[in-house]
Structure 1
Amino acid sequence: MAKQSSLPLFQRVSLRSDKSIALELLLLFLLFSLLTYHFFSIKQYGIPVLLAFLCESFFTYVWILVLNIKWNPIKYVQYPDRLLEQKNELPAVDIFVTTADDELESPIITMNTVLSSMAVDYPVEKLACYISDDNASPLLYYALVETSKFARVWLPFCKKYDISVRAPFRYFATTSGPSREESLEFQYEWKLVKDIYEMFCKKIEDAALAPSSDLPELNKKNHGSIVKIITAKGVPHMVYISREKPHHFKSGALNALTRVSGLMTNAPFILHVDCDMYVNNPQVILHAMCLFLGVENEEDCAYVQFEPGFCHNIKDDPFENHYDVLFKFFGHGTAGIQGPPYIGSNCFFKRKVIYGLSPDQKITTGIDLNLQRKFGQSSMLKESVARVLSASTSASMSLKCTVSSFVKGTHHVAVCDYENGTCWGTEVGWKYGSQSEDILTGLGIHRKGWKSMYCATEPASFLRCAASTVPGTMIQSKRWATVPLEIFLSSMRPISDTLNGNLSLRQCLAYMWLLTWSLRSIPELVYSLLPAYCIISGSRFLPEVSELAILIPIEVFLVFNLCTLSEYLAIGLSTRAWWNHQQMARITSTSSWLFATLSVFPKLIGLSSSAFEVPTPTYDKDMKNKDPGKFTFSKSLIFLPGTTILLVNLTALGIGMSRFLTTSPQNNEAGIGELLCSLWIVLYYWVFLKGLFAKGKYGIPSSTIVKSGVLALLFIHFCK
């Protein structure tokens, strides 16, 4: 908690725009007007209008959820310089880095994440880094040993010259070298450190061909717990952990890290980062501590979720995989309610919150039987838990100096059966029951009445390499959309958490938007085919041009596009970036989200089992891509819906135009709206149209075209 006599460590700033709210409320009114028109037209025009009404009902539901999130966006401005005045009182932080497969996740990128995390502007003696390796990789352990050696050079270099980018692979890739104006000492040390880094990378690459380390060859799916401490002078402690399986996905790894770190360093704060999410702002921990230590009420900050960023930016984000507007709208919007959800990386937690403490729960010093039921039989762990639960998180806690003396106990808490009969994964730690441990964990924290905070810094505090190919983007989008929907449909959370817990109604609606976004794929698909259906069948779902009611869909179209365009322009993005978003939103919703939605329902009735999928990182591939901004295709079925939608609408345009040219003007009014809609859909899928005629990876595979052609013919036959 902030001291009353000191300057505030952060400021809460409202981002609410009355003009934007008025425009968004106008769109809501127009959507209800369109629903009303279609509701009273169902009897007259039949199935097309009924389908339009159902789709627009879902779109209206989504817009209500969006309005709820946007109603009172909040931004926090931190003052880390004020915190540095209290340097001796800074609390300790344990850093968790999780990795699952060194063959899919480059060890060099993982080591850069570790290096950037340890090189932050924070006392070295108050940091410890724990690396979870679910693949029990000798290569990764060897890389960590080499990292500890390189860190003895890298960390002093960064702090001596106040280097802003502290992931060496990014620093040396984005700087051509010191200028002549720099001191001779800096020029010499820059060249020396660069040479050492290149040797460091070469050692890891060579070891990948002939791995050699202290780790024996193991059955990677069945081995005992491994805990190894890697220390170097002037560098934070590094602890390598490969836990015993079964793993419970990433949440199981994080719970093992929590127990091991609880025995060794037991810092009151925990930072979790994925292995490919490196620190880009060296003051990141200070920014987080400004929020944790600056709140008046402790329950106002259970965790601090940092806004993610992406490197290797392509101009105007042609594949909409940086999510700039999404993160700002959702992050700042939920900050004005109960706080942002936990998104699975770049997040700081209070350890006592991870241990399951509620805001109104009072813990006294000592150990009771309840701790054994919750946390297991390790007496050392129960002692460390009791210390954390009874201590003030604002108090300074230093790391233990003799972490090696706790290694034996850490093996015990990292075995697979330690959690039997305990509350790990339910009431304590990261939550089990889904691959999306992030959403469940954040939801569980909010359910208890805690609030969270959203932190967006300049420059971005964390960066990762975004997919720069369309197939990679599509697969990533499908994965991100599948698990949230599974959570919602299997447990009806967060509705139950609002009825039976302390999750606020508005926060419930925000989670509803997050968990059900892939359901939009069904009405999007129907709406993209509806104009073509009406043109081919000679029916309609829009008013005639001569009717006054035609103004309603026109106004919906104009106001919606004005709302979304203004969001892009407000944060400095271009009109081209906005149009790229419009295209990719339609393409993604009718491909990735559609496959995600269709894959969930069989799982709910046990027809298929979920698999632990690691998305293939894209850094090596993308950096060598000669034209990373160009739309590419593959033989994946994920491109089938988009190609089919394009072929159907092209056919409908041909039929509609021929009918328009051969029919008297008096009879053409009925189909003009549908014709324009179909044309607009073709513009959305323009990259698919170009793909029909392109070759190689830039063209749609012939097998996909044939399959889509058959589906299009079946649809046209059905329309007639």
Structure 2
Amino acid sequence: MVINTVLSVMAYDYPPEKLTVYLSDDGCSDLTFYAMLEAARFSKIWLPFCKKFRVEPRSPEAYFRAALAEPLGDPVTTKDWSSIKKSYEEMKQRIETTTKPGRISEEMRKEHKGFSEWDLVASPRDHQTILQILIDGKDPKAVDFEGQPLPTLVYLAREKRPQYHHNYKAGAMNALIRVSSRISNSPVILNVDCDMYSNNSKSARDAVCFFMDEEKGHEVGFVQFPQAFENITKNDVYSSSLNVIMGVEIPGFDGNGGPCYIGTGCFHRRETLCGQKYSKECKADWKRCNDIKIEERGFEVWLSSGRYPYRLAIQCRGWRSIYFNPKRAGFLGLAPTTLLQSLVQNKRWSEGDFQIFASRYCPFVYGYGKIPVKLQLSYCTYLLWAPNCLASLYYAAVPSLCLLRGISLFPEFSNLWVLPFALVFLLHRAYSLGEFLWFGGTLKGWQNDQRMWLFKRTSSYLFGFLDNILKLLGFARSAFVITAKVADTDVSERYEQEVMEFGASSPLFTILATLALLNAFCFVGGMKWVTMDVRSLGSNPFALQIILSGLLVVINLPVYQGLFLRKDKGRMPTSITRRSIMFALLACAVALY
């Protein structure tokens, strides 16, 4: 996956002598370094092939997978295609054979002096800086098999020591800024995650056009491409497509001062990452820099992962941003294929965003007087994901428990005060459905989206919120280990069939299962208030609570199947079933007695 991403950006439709690709390996793995060596060799035949046949996408794995479904055309193309595919499969086989034992053999270590660096590595969290230039674009010998220059390719594993916090992606970006300033010092920098390969070879040219715009280019700090995924199922079982966020919400930032940096697929102006403030007086200088620097020195590509609060700081320094969503997606990645992966991903996102809100980088504090209030509020859409768990937990539990106890919370249908509740519910659902369908979703996909909306807010956001609160209070974070995704050959098949994958033990699943059973017990127990009351449904004080509890039961149908009906490896673990039944019954007992 990493090597395909590297090759896809090396093959950009851009002068290779002006392109430098950096791989930031925070795992400090000699296996990754070996794979980079293989990619450097393969690039000598892959880049000419891409240019000759105008290949899209330029990730070898994605291209060959897509090309199998299309006719190859004339015999010359077929011959070249077969030859390059054979070379790719041989490289792939060598990498898999070498990495399977988990170590590099002594014979291979002798092939490149860079492997000697790992003799001094104590662990991935305790090692010196490892910097290796695998392809030096300034070297006349660094050419492909047609004699054309190759992009510069650099491997970097920044120094890490146990006694110092490495600051995740922010630390990696800082290290890359320092290293790249001595190697290429390009004025435009692309940051992309290692699992987000380039799907559009013209993305670099598109981004540079924004920076070189004669009227507004000098104001642009970064150009953000949307995040998209190639493995989304028809009905998007885990609601991973982010279509509404990328198609509606983030474009809406343009009217408020520009979109935020989402952590990947973003072209930055180097000065913005180095703390440079925007000044109108510098317009003439920016025009000169655009004409000289970008055209002569090109741009850099950084491959890494993670998120950090630079996105707000850049805009607070006066720069504006551009959100560019071309017809052909600029980058494609892999969405989670199990429920646990999805929940853990959202837990990290919500935790990181709320951590920013609770720090000095809060938009209302750091951005006061620097960015418009409407942009400060726009940021809060995401920074306050984690606290949303409180309202969601209330509606997922309290009305049902009150129904079981016989406490009415909502007006009767015959009461005019029911109209605000009905209008808010119906109009919001109708708007949500229309929005989802407008951006290519399906009715079942919208149902899955509503289900994941509940699941994320009652589990992922809850743990993200608690972790931040405990940290603010000076306590250790809530310690629980997330089991790795189910390593079973059936997982992919179940994902394609859109069968929800549980299969692992996690506190996140305990919360979901407990709430699901709680609503089922309360729904059954609350039906007595309907059957015992001889009044019509319109005058029954529990009608709305029955409907709400019933909807929650319908949303949780996959959970009930995983708890009691399924027999495959993707079912809910027995330990989760036992705990959730016990907790749900305990909550019902407390409500009753």
Q: TM-score range by the shorter chain?
A: 0.7 to 0.9
Scaled by the length of structure 2, the TM-score of the pair is 0.87
In the alignment, structure 1 residue 222 sits paired with structure 2 residue 88:
no
Equivalent residue for 1:293, pick from 184, 195, 212: 212
Q: Is the 8 A contact 1:299 1:451 kept in 2?
A: no
Q: Secondary structure, in 3 states, of the residue corresponding to 1:131?
A: strand
- How far has the Cα of 1:692 moved from its partner? 2.6
Identity %: 31
* Corresponding residue of 1:202: 93
* Corresponding residue of 1:243: 158
In the alignment, structure 1 residue 655 sits paired with structure 2 residue 525:
yes
Aligned pairs (5 A) from 1:402-551: 437-438=307-308, 440-491=309-360, 493-499=362-368, 501-551=369-419
Mapped partners of 2:485, 2:211: distance in 1:
33
- How far has the Cα of 1:624 moved from its partner? 6.2
Mapped partners of 1:150, 1:621: distance in 2:
31
Mapped partners of 1:616, 1:451: distance in 2:
40
Mapped partners of 1:178, 1:671: distance in 2:
59
Mapped partners of 1:299, 1:715: distance in 2:
60
Q: Secondary structure, in 3 states, of the residue corresponding to 2:154?
A: strand
Mapped partners of 1:506, 1:364: distance in 2:
26
Q: Is the 8 A contact 1:267 1:399 kept in 2?
A: no
Q: Secondary structure, in 3 states, of the residue corresponding to 1:452?
A: strand
Runs (5+) with no aligned partner, structure 2: 136-141, 144-148
Superposed CA RMSD in Å reads: 2.8
Q: Is the 8 A contact 1:436 1:484 kept in 2?
A: no
Q: Is the 8 A contact 1:273 1:345 kept in 2?
A: yes
- How far has the Cα of 1:700 moved from its partner? 2.3
- CA deviation digits over 1:542-595, x for unaligned, max 9? 101221222221111110011101111212221121111011101111111111
Equivalent residue for 2:198, pick from 259, 274, 279: 279
In the alignment, structure 1 residue 554 sits paired with structure 2 residue 422:
yes
In the alignment, structure 1 residue 116 sits paired with structure 2 residue 8:
yes
Mapped partners of 1:688, 1:571: distance in 2:
28
Equivalent residue for 1:625, pick from 481, 492, 502: 492
* Corresponding residue of 1:645: 515
In structure 2, relative to structure 1, the CA distance for the partners of 1:506 and 1:394 (3 Å cut) is farther
Mapped partners of 2:42, 2:482: distance in 1:
28
Mapped partners of 2:591, 2:351: distance in 1:
31
* Corresponding residue of 2:254: 335
* Corresponding residue of 1:412: none
Mapped partners of 2:349, 2:265: distance in 1:
17
In the alignment, structure 1 residue 688 sits paired with structure 2 residue 580:
no
The residue type paired with residue 626 of structure 1 is E
- CA deviation digits over 1:162-190, x for unaligned, max 9? 1111100111122217636x121100000
* Corresponding residue of 2:582: 710
* Corresponding residue of 1:320: 239
Aligned pairs (5 A) from 1:576-595: 576-595=444-463
Q: Secondary structure, in 3 states, of the residue corresponding to 1:606?
A: coil
- How far has the Cα of 1:283 moved from its partner? 0.7
In structure 2, relative to structure 1, the CA distance for the partners of 1:347 and 1:584 (3 Å cut) is same
Q: Secondary structure, in 3 states, of the residue corresponding to 2:576?
A: helix
- CA deviation digits over 1:584-625, x for unaligned, max 9? 1011111111111122211112212699x999799x978962
In structure 2, relative to structure 1, the CA distance for the partners of 1:305 and 1:158 (3 Å cut) is same
- How far has the Cα of 1:248 moved from its partner? 2.4
Q: Is the 8 A contact 1:302 1:450 kept in 2?
A: yes
Q: Secondary structure, in 3 states, of the residue corresponding to 2:258?
A: coil
Q: Secondary structure, in 3 states, of the residue corresponding to 2:86?
A: helix
Q: Is the 8 A contact 2:50 2:58 kept in 1?
A: yes
Q: Is the 8 A contact 1:227 1:242 kept in 2?
A: yes
- How far has the Cα of 1:491 moved from its partner? 3.0
Scaled by the length of structure 1, the TM-score of the pair is 0.73
Larger RCO (CA within 8 A; separation ≥ 6): 1
The residue type paired with residue 204 of structure 1 is I
Runs (5+) with no aligned partner, structure 1: 1-108, 366-387, 404-428, 430-434
* Corresponding residue of 2:138: none
Aligned pairs (5 A) from 1:364-383: none
- How far has the Cα of 1:354 moved from its partner? 1.4
In structure 2, relative to structure 1, the CA distance for the partners of 1:574 and 1:360 (3 Å cut) is same
Q: Secondary structure, in 3 states, of the residue corresponding to 2:358?
A: helix
- CA deviation digits over 1:480-532, x for unaligned, max 9? 11111122123361111232x41211110011111111211111011111221
